[in-house]
Amino acid sequence: MGKTMKEDKNMVLPKGVTQTDFLQAVEQLKELMGNDNVLLSKEHILPYTKIMMSIDNAEHTPSAVVTATTVEQIQAILKICNEFKIPIWTISTGRNFGYGSAAPVEHGQIILDLKKMNKIIHVDPDLCTALVEPGVTYQQLYDYLQENNIPLMLSFSAPSAIAGPLGNTMDRGVGYTPYGEHFMMQCGMEVVLANGEVLRTGMGSVQGDKAWQVFKWGYGPTLDGMFTQSNYGICTKMGFWLMPKPPVYKPFEIQFPEESDISEIVEMIRPLRIAQIIPNSVVIANILWEAATCDTRRSQYTMELGSTSDEILKQIQKDKSLGAWNVYAALYGTQEQVDVNWNIVKAAVEKLGKGKLITQEEAGDTQPFKYRAELMSGVPNLQEFGLYNWRGGGGSMWFAPVSQARGSECDKQKSMAKRILNKHGLDYVGEFIVGWRDMHHVIDVLYNRADPEETKRADACFNELLDEFEKEGYAVYRVNTHFQERVAQIYGPVKRQVEHAIKRALDPNNILAPGKCGIDLTNNFQLKG
């Protein structure tokens, strides 16, 4: 061990781990993995410390980064971590910007980076399945399908190119195609448990089985869901169902002029979604979400502090030829199917008596229609990063409450969110994503992290959003690492007791991402009533 490292009094250490034990563990990790795969310098760790949350970077600084390429390496890493009681935080491809970053939930945790495990193991063009490792990106899988002329279509989140199907599915992300509820389209996992044992879920536990990617359930309790949004194991392989490319694809947009239209929009869309007339996840995006993705900056319209006035929002709407709400959907199938469903959609819009219907032919290459059409057809892009230019300063926290797909519920949530955000001098930048019966209400709390006062306001704002929505029976389905313990409290003590019982059984040394989703064996939540 180098002298400099031994004498570094400022070394970041995992909670409860002495420097002596940490250095011994690092030595063993280097011997196992090689120096190039055990990163300790500030320079190498820096990319993993970039956060967008309303908290100091230091609170989420890792002690080291370890990269692995095989299941056997992961097993050996876990053996060392168990010996020295060192916690690890596992990541794969993306940086999870809207929900925190790649940084660990707790200061000093070692990051286990699986980006080098990037094999596309198998794609079956007949059964429309894929089996991939954690480091595979959507762009990589898309390119593979294109290069091999395989007529299958992906579904992914936005921005998508640098994200990966395994990581996004493990966090129960959503996309914009008919296969948009990603965990529903997952089939089969390989998971390394904390003790190093390897579990294959579903049919994967059967020696020589050929149905691992086609039948989700297997025999007995279904375990796959237990490993999503949890810290019970490290997923090293995952199967997916992919969608056959339809002969005809028809994207369209409906622009609505007034913010108050949201209730009527949802009431029009819901029966079309439930009946599968519109088969994909419909996006209802507000003016600022769409304008920001087209590189609109607030400073172009005003330099005044606080929230943006409704008068300016109307001006942006006019300048960018957008609606107060912008609905994006698509039809898929044969020409006959698309023609029939298109007539039903047009009739629904006409009956409503408002809303401007825009086809791809009419929109051309204009943004944001172009990138929305690409997402709905399974073409990855990075367009949505434009959101971060609206205010600048690198602050972004996604607040994502779920509601019923009812107009009154969505209107209520929109009004609550806008009131609270404006109260703290921030803007309502939001979209609704329509499932079959649910709405994912995604709100990007954008702020300037370089401004301490604005960061403080953003933190207070997010806490108030959680508090006020909880009072109305609303809770988020994902959240950044800064607020994971707070959100876990919303879901009540019984759920937490079960989660911690599973944790004690599978990870008694508490080494796998303690604190993720509020699951931590050192957590005294039971004492909080």
Question: Which tokens go with 428?
Answer: 């309502």
- Give me the mean pLDDT over the 473-484 stretch: 95
- Give me the mean pLDDT over the 449-468 stretch: 97
Q: Are 283 and 373 found together in one domain?
A: yes
Q: Are 273 and 419 found together in one domain?
A: yes
Q: Are 266 and 368 found together in one domain?
A: yes
pLDDT-wise least confident of 1-5, 219-223, 486-490? 1-5
Q: Is residue 384 part of a domain?
A: yes
Q: Are 109 and 144 found together in one domain?
A: no
Q: Is residue 485 part of a domain?
A: no
- Give me the mean pLDDT over the 421-438 stretch: 96
Please give the pLDDT value at position 431.
97
pLDDT-wise least confident of 97-106, 124-133, 194-203, 227-236? 97-106
- Give me the mean pLDDT over the 364-392 stretch: 94
Q: Is residue 402 part of a domain?
A: yes
Q: How confident is the model at residue 1 (pLDDT cuts 50, 70, 90)?
A: very low
Q: Are 288 and 227 found together in one domain?
A: no
- pLDDT score of 5 more than 60: no
Q: How confident is the model at residue 95 (pLDDT cuts 50, 70, 90)?
A: low
Residue that is written with structure tokens 């781990």 in the block: 17
- Domain closes at, from 196, 212, 244: 244
Active site residues: 99, 477-478
Instruction: State the chain's mean pLDDT as an integer.
Output: 94
Sort residue 333 into left (φ over 0), alpha (ψ -120 to 50) or beta.
left
- Give me the mean pLDDT over the 213-237 stretch: 96
Please give the pLDDT value at position 93.
82
Please give the pLDDT value at position 529.
39
Torsion of CA 264, 265, 268, 274, to 10 degrees: -130
The pair phi, psi for residue 481, each rounded to 5°, is: -65, -30
Q: Are 473 and 444 found together in one domain?
A: yes
Q: Are 58 and 19 found together in one domain?
A: yes
Q: What is the CATH number of the domain that holds 170?
A: 3.30.465.10
- The conformation of residue 245, written as its DSSP 8-state character, comes to P
Q: What percent of the chain has pLDDT over 90?
A: 89
- pLDDT score of 525 more than 90: no
Q: CB atoms < 10 A from the CB of 260, how many?
A: 13
Please give the pLDDT value at position 3.
41
Q: Are 126 and 48 found together in one domain?
A: no
- pLDDT score of 100 more than 70: no
Question: Which tokens go with 471?
Answer: 């009072």
Please give the pLDDT value at position 98.
62
- pLDDT score of 528 more than 60: no
- pLDDT score of 7 more than 60: no
Q: What is the CATH number of the domain that holds 507?
A: 1.10.45.10
pLDDT-wise least confident of 39-48, 93-102, 234-243, 353-362? 93-102
Q: What is the CATH number of the domain that holds 363?
A: 3.40.462.10
Q: CB atoms < 10 A from the CB of 4, how many?
A: 7
Q: Is residue 486 part of a domain?
A: no
Please give the pLDDT value at position 352.
97
Please give the pLDDT value at position 41.
92
Sign of CA pseudo-dihedral 224, 226, 230, 235: negative
Q: Are 447 and 340 found together in one domain?
A: yes
Q: Are 87 and 10 found together in one domain?
A: yes
Q: How confident is the model at residue 2 (pLDDT cuts 50, 70, 90)?
A: very low
Q: How confident is the model at residue 6 (pLDDT cuts 50, 70, 90)?
A: low
Domain count, the chain: 4
- 8 in helix, strand or coil? coil
Please give the pLDDT value at position 96.
65
Sheet containing strand 88-91, strands side by side? 38-39, 65-67, 110-113, 88-91
Q: Are 163 and 273 found together in one domain?
A: no
- Domain closes at, from 78, 113, 148: 113
- Domain closes at, from 209, 226, 244: 244
Q: What is the CATH number of the domain that holds 74?
A: 3.30.43.10
- Give me the mean pLDDT over the 221-233 stretch: 96
Q: Is residue 84 part of a domain?
A: yes
Q: Are 262 and 125 found together in one domain?
A: no
Q: Is residue 471 part of a domain?
A: yes
Tell me which residue range forms the domain holding 222.
120-244
Q: How confident is the model at residue 57 (pLDDT cuts 50, 70, 90)?
A: confident
Q: How confident is the model at residue 94 (pLDDT cuts 50, 70, 90)?
A: low
Please give the pLDDT value at position 298.
97
- Give me the mean pLDDT over the 472-478 stretch: 96
Q: Is residue 221 part of a domain?
A: yes
